[in-house]
Structure 1
Amino acid sequence: MPITRRRALTGLALLPVALCGLPVVRAGDPTLPKVDIVSFEPALTESLLGLGVAPRAVVNAGFYREFVASPQLPGDVIDLGPSIEPNLEYLQRLAPELIIGTSWQLEGTLLSRIAPLRTFDIYTANAQPYRNAGQVLLDLGALVERRAEAQALLEQTDRLLEQLRVRLAPVSHRPVYIARLNPDGRHLLLFGAKGMYQAVLERLGLRNAYQGRTNAWGGSPAVGIETLLEQPDASLLYYTNPREALAAQRRLDNSPIWRALPMIREGRALGLPRFYPSGGLLTAQRLALSITEQLLAMETKHA
């Protein structure tokens, strides 16, 4: 039975983050305790691993390892196959105590015949993903008896972003575009309202240069690169799918519009690692660290 899965998710590489007093998760770590839970959502898997426990099985482990990457998923976590059509026969044989995922992944399915279901939603109509991610972390902490670890991680993340906000104060006057460059060299995916990118920018005291409409996870795909002319004084932080990077850069180098952009001419554009746009609190940490690093490097370059 196929489980409908959002297909427009963009994969993102992540920066390592040291978590104050929290366990470091490494691939294949035999000491990492397992909980008898199957996770259908990478952000929930990320959160469990950040609390120092691993799910027994996940849907599409390859997707997690490529697009979320950190905390690392132990090699002995069972992979139930692709998210659009997980191996339900294998899942039934596992008979887990609980299956977790988002509402749109689990509601209206027959998975409840296999195990109890519980949904956790970070990206909702209230468009407060940072706050929601913190609450999801606390709820998961209670579920797996890691309440103290969840509270510590939440407080540590708040402190980190406040510290980075202070560091970024000298450059906070300049708006910031965050984009994924498309391989056609003419379009990009801009991140704006509703998503974690927007939430992190706000926590860092920065203004998002893109004010257009976005989808549920904060992306606006297939926007023409000329849109960047709407905020000529902005900085641009961007990434490209590594498999498409050379083709995209070649086309952009030949684009008169791209070359004419003020942020390109004036060196106010720098690359970001890929980040999972629908991630949780640990994604927010790594995203905030990377944004800070790049913007301060840009400021130093122009000092």
Structure 2
Amino acid sequence: MAAATDGGDRPRVAAIDWGQAQTLIALGAPPVAMAQIDAYQDWVGVPPVPDSVRELGLRVQPNMELMSQLDLDLITITPMYASSRARLEAIAPVETIDVYYHEGSAWDNTVESTRRLGALVGRADAAERLVADTRRTVETAAERVPAEAPRLLVVQFMDARHVRVYGEGSLLDDVMTRMGLDNAWTGSTTFWGFALVSLERLAEVDDARMAVLDPMPVGVAEEIDGSVLWNHLPAVRQGPVLDLPAVWSFGGLPSAARFARALADALSAPQVAGTPDS
């Protein structure tokens, strides 16, 4: 399929992966359809999905009948959804674009995937602008971080006793490095740059500040509020805990920019930037 040129008619694309969907929206070439729009609003958040985008159902089991009716030129996936490729190819050409499935940093691969998506939809210039704007956003956010910023434990709750903690190999860790921030998690991580650990494991980390990403599973906030274990973790006792918005960590420059801004906002808040009460 030949890509449209900037300013011309765009190809009709369906996006199964959220990182690709958010990138297409940010490029000004939103997909015709994407999967799990309501959940995207909770887990990704930015940019918002235009009302014109059709709902495809589950990412792992998209609505094939609907896609077959949309006169699609292209479907984009990551290797995570490779099992659906044969069925999707019966509807339209499929392009696999990945961030975590080949060598290179998550940041560099996210930049590369942005450029590939831009080329596919005839928005190469917009892709370059998005890359440049994201770099500037991260640099500007870094300038707002206090000189004595603490080491950070960045976590996302799975339930009241288990979290994903982000470390080496993740897009979030790459953003922190670019901001001059130290990641307190030096333990092993999965393919995607996080470790699924119990709260007890976090007790091993001293001299750090806790940062918690939304969304919080239903009922968990109330449970941890009264949890002796949580409230006695060194990174929580350093306080206050940094509450961060939802950030999709699996690729997407809009998420990298959102994370950088959120960190800068949280770290420069008066109650954080000042000396904690003893």
Q: TM-score range by the shorter chain?
A: 0.7 to 0.9
What's the counterpart of residue 270 of structure 1? 242
2:154 matched to which residue of 1?
178
Residues in 2 aligned to 1:243 and 1:256: alpha-carbon distance in whole angstroms: 19
2:73 aligned with 1:100: no
Which residue in 1 is equivalent to 2:64? Answer: 88
What is the deviation of 1:210?
A: 0.8
CA contact (8 A) 2:205 2:234 kept: no
Q: Name the amino acid aligned to 1:165.
A: A
Counterpart of 1:149 in structure 2 is 126
Q: Is the 8 A contact 2:45 2:247 kept in 1?
A: no
Classify 1:232/1:84 alpha carbon distance in 2 versus 1 (closer, same or farther; 3 Å). Answer: same
CA RMSD of aligned residues (A): 2.2
Offset at 1:151?
0.8
The residue type paired with residue 85 of structure 1 is Q
The 3-state SS of whatever aligns with 1:171 is coil
1:200 corresponding residue in structure 2: 175
Matches of 2:215 and 2:222, distance apart in 1: 14
Q: 1:38, CA displacement in angstroms?
A: 1.1
Quick one: which amino acid aligns to residue 203 of structure 2? L
Contact kept, 8 Å, 1:127 with 1:194, in 2: the verdict is no
| Structure 1: runs of 5+ lacking an equivalent | 1-32
Counterpart-to-counterpart distance in 1, 2:11 and 2:30? 6
Partner of 1:138: 115
Counterpart of 1:233 in structure 2: which amino acid? D
Aligned mate of 2:166, from 169, 191, 202: 191
Residues in 1 aligned to 2:38 and 2:93: alpha-carbon distance in whole angstroms: 25
- Match for residue 97 of structure 2 among 104, 120, 135: 120
Give the distance between the partners of 1:125 and 1:213, measured in 2 at CA. Answer: 18
Q: TM-score w.r.t. structure 1 length?
A: 0.80
| Per-residue deviation, residues 145-194 of structure 1 (Å, max 9, x unmatched) | 2122111111111122122223326034x31100123443x332211122
Native 8 Å contact 1:34 1:56 kept in 2: no
Q: CA deviation at 1:285?
A: 0.1
| Residues 92 and 181 (structure 1), Cα distance of their counterparts in 2 relative to 1, 3 Å cut | closer
Structure 1's 164 and 240: CA in aligned 2 closer, same or farther, altered over 3 A? closer
Aligned counterpart, 1:285 = 257
> Once the two structures are superposed, what CA deviation does each residue of 1:191-242 show, in whole Å capped at 9, x if it has no partner?
1122111111111111211122222222222x22232332321011013534
Name the count of aligned residue pairs: 266
Instruction: Give me the whole-angstrom Cα distance separating, in 2, the residues matched to 1:282 and 1:162.
Output: 14
- 2:255 and 2:11 mapped to 1: Cα distance? 22
Q: Does 1:300 align with 2:273?
A: yes
Q: Any stretches of 5+ residues in structure 2 without a counterpart? A: 1-8
What does 1:35-50 align with in structure 2 at a 5 Å threshold?
A: 35-50=11-26
Counterpart-to-counterpart distance in 1, 2:46 and 2:254: 8
Task: Output the amino acid matched with 2:213.
Answer: Y
Q: Distance in 2 between matches of 1:252 and 1:110?
A: 43
Cα 1:259–1:40, aligned 2, differ >3 Å: closer, same or farther? Answer: closer
Aligned to 2:4: none
- Contact 1:100/1:119 (CA < 8 Å) preserved in 2? yes
Match of 2:228 in 1: 256
Quote the sequence identity (%).
Answer: 29
Q: Once superposed, which parts of structure 1, at least 4 consecutive aligned residues long, lie more than 6 Å away?
A: none
Measure, in 2, the Cα distance between the counterparts of 1:45 and 1:166: 30
1:126 alignment partner AA: E
- What SS does the aligned partner of 1:180 have? strand
Output one character per residue of 1:122-148: Cα deviation in whole Å (capped at 9) or x when no partner.
122425111111111111112222122
Q: Secondary structure at the match of 2:12?
A: strand
What residue identity is the alignment partner of 2:243?
G
Aligned position for 1:110: 87
Structure 2: distance between partners of 1:89 and 1:119: 21
